[in-house]
């Protein structure tokens, strides 16, 4: 059975990525949706009655969720055409301040879970399959006050580039997507809204537009997709200037 897996499908960018995948991957017979909130995933699946869905209400910060996914895959032995690693979180706080759990949550979800899900899924992917990893403009250089978040996203981008080379010979394409700020529950969950001049000043990306661009880029075989000219320019600047200089201006 041809399937697609989308993590963090219950809200924000993930919901839009799912809608794009449904539209642009017509051969996929079943979409597997991962997030903690079962009700939201079921409501989303019900709103798209033309396609088949499997709801996997997993907390990807828990070790047993990897076992559950491993078993689901082993039982179905699917032909995984598209994997979207979108579930992620970002907290605004200096290290050493606020709850420890916020800092470790970002590492557990953005780094550990993304790595584990990809590792478990790859044996089920063949030529032509696509992996979309949601990174961020935060991956371009460290962002003080979101140091852990930007470090986790640097990992996502670096992981995507390395993996892309590893799986090229198998005909699998990996795309890292680097959006700027989006007005989703990410901002409230991460205590960012109303507390960051940078987030108030930067231009925003629309989740639907990011999702459309991301899925198109993956289908084209692009390794990195950065929405909006402003952030494409920022990516080039961050490549050219030493990070010791950049980091003076990238406080969140």
Ligand X SMILES: NC(=O)c1ccc[n+]([C@@H]2O[C@H](COP(=O)([O-])OP(=O)(O)OC[C@H]3O[C@@H](n4cnc5c(N)ncnc54)[C@H](OP(=O)(O)O)[C@@H]3O)[C@@H](O)[C@H]2O)c1
Q: Does 29 bind ligand X (CB under 6 A)?
A: no
Nearer to ligand X, 169 or 197 (CB): 197
Please give the Cα distance from 29 to 44 (Å, whole number): 17
Please give the Cα distance from 187 to 205 (Å, whole number): 13
Nearer to ligand X, 2 or 40 (CB): 40
Find the shortest distance in angstroms from Cβ 78 to ligand X: 20
Q: Does 72 bind ligand X (CB under 6 A)?
A: no
Structure tokens at 150: 């930007």
Among 182, 214, 217, 218, interactor with ligand X by CB under 6 A: 182
Q: Does 5 bind ligand X (CB under 6 A)?
A: no
Nearer to ligand X, 66 or 79 (CB): 66
Say whether 149 is catalytic: yes
Contact segment (CB under 6 A) with ligand X among 42-50, 71-79, 87-95, 229-237 equals 87-95
DSSP 15: H
Q: Does 55 bind ligand X (CB under 6 A)?
A: no
Please give the Cα distance from 122 to 137 (Å, whole number): 26
CA end-to-end span of the chain: 44
Closest to 182 in 3D by CA, of 199, 195, 194, 196: 199
Among 4, 8, 73, 157, interactor with ligand X by CB under 6 A: 8
User: How many residues at the interface with ligand X, by CB under 6 A?
Assistant: 31
Instruction: Kindly tell me the number of DSSP H helices and DSSP E strands found in the chain.
Output: 11, 7
Does an H or E element contain 87, and which?
none
Please give the Cα distance from 103 to 98 (Å, whole number): 9
Please give the Cα distance from 151 to 90 (Å, whole number): 11
Among 33, 69, 84, 88, interactor with ligand X by CB under 6 A: 88
Structure tokens at 63: 């070790």
Structure tokens at 130: 């696509």
Characterize 47-60 residue by residue with b for buried, 16 or more Cβ atoms within 10 angstroms of its Cβ, and e for exposed. Answer: eeeebebbbbbbeb
Site string for ligand X, 188-217 (x = CB under 6 A): -x----------------------------
Site string for ligand X, 123-152 (x = CB under 6 A): -----------x-x----------------
Contact segment (CB under 6 A) with ligand X among 72-80, 167-175, 179-187, 224-232 equals 179-187
Q: Which residues are catalytic?
A: 149
* Interaction site with ligand X (CB under 6 A): 8-14, 34-37, 40, 58-61, 86-90, 109, 134, 136, 179, 181-182, 184-186, 189
């Amino acid at each position: 059975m041809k399937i697609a897996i989308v993590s963090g499908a219950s809200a924000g960018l993930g919901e839009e990525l799912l809608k794009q995948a449904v539209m642009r991957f017509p051969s996929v017979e079943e979409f597997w949706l991962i997030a903690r909130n079962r009700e939201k995933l079921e409501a989303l699946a019900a709103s798209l009655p033309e396609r088949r869905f499997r709801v996997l209400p997993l907390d990807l910060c828990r070790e047993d969720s990897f076992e559950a996914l491993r078993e689901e895959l082993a039982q179905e032995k699917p032909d995984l055409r598209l994997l979207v690693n979108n579930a992620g979180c970002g907290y605004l706080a200096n290290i050493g301040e606020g709850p420890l759990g916020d800092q470790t949550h970002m590492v557990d979800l953005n780094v550990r879970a993304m790595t584990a899900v990809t590792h478990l899924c790859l044996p089920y992917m063949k030529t032509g399959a696509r992996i979309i990893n949601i990174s961020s403009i935060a991956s371009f250089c460290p962002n003080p006050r979101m140091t852990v978040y930007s470090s986790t996203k640097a990992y996502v981008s670096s992981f995507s580039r390395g993996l892309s080379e590893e799986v090229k010979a198998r005909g699998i394409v990996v795309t890292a997507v680097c959006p700027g700020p989006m007005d989703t529950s990410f901002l409230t969950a991460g205590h960012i809204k109303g507390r960051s001049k940078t987030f108030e000043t930067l231009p925003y990306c629309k989740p639907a537009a990011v999702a459309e661009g991301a899925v198109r880029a993956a289908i084209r075989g692009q390794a990195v997709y950065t929405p909006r000219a402003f952030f494409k320019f920022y990516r080039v600047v961050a490549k050219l200037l030493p990070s010791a200089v950049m980091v003076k201006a990238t406080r969140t």
